[in-house]
Amino acid sequence: MPTVTINGNTCEFEPGQTILQAANDAGVEIPYYCYHDGLSVPAQCRICLGECWAPNPRNENKVEPFMGGKLLPTCATSAVDGMVVHTDSPKAVANQKAVMEYLL
């Protein structure tokens, strides 16, 4: 079964699952507001953004920034086998604080 590492926790996932779904199934907490299993994914609140690293397709032993190292919404980004996600990095936490400040 494919795995993704989220905040240091290895999580198994089913193909087609998002990072947030894999985290929820494994009991790893990622903050989110707008996501709900029974609805379409709007990815509007932006609080679930995380830094994502994925295996290089030409060199599977090397992990590189996924999508240029941008923060990506974990509720809308598909999990990839070998991916490493950080929602607790300084960049991601700064985003969470900014989103909370904006919402309040």
Q: Model confidence over 5-58: pLDDT tens digits?
A: 999 999 999 999 999 999 999 999 999 988 887 878 778 889 999 999 988 777
Query: What is the pLDDT, as a whole number, of residue 63?
Result: 74
Q: Domain residue spans in the chain?
A: 3-103
CA atoms of 59 and 93, how far apart (whole Å): 30
Query: What is the pLDDT, as a whole number, of residue 54?
Result: 86
Query: What is the pLDDT, as a whole number, of residue 62?
Result: 75
Q: Model confidence over 65-79: pLDDT tens digits?
A: 777 778 999 999 999
> Class for domain 3-103, per CATH?
alpha beta
Band of pLDDT at residue 60, cut at 50, 70 and 90: low
CA nearest 24: which of 41, 36, 15, 39? 36
Whether the pLDDT of residue 61 is over 80: the answer is: no
Map 32-100 to HEC letters.
CCCCCCCCCCCCCCCCCEEEEEEEECCEEEEEEEHHHHCEEECCCCECCCCCEEECCCHHHHHHHHHHH
pTM: 0.88
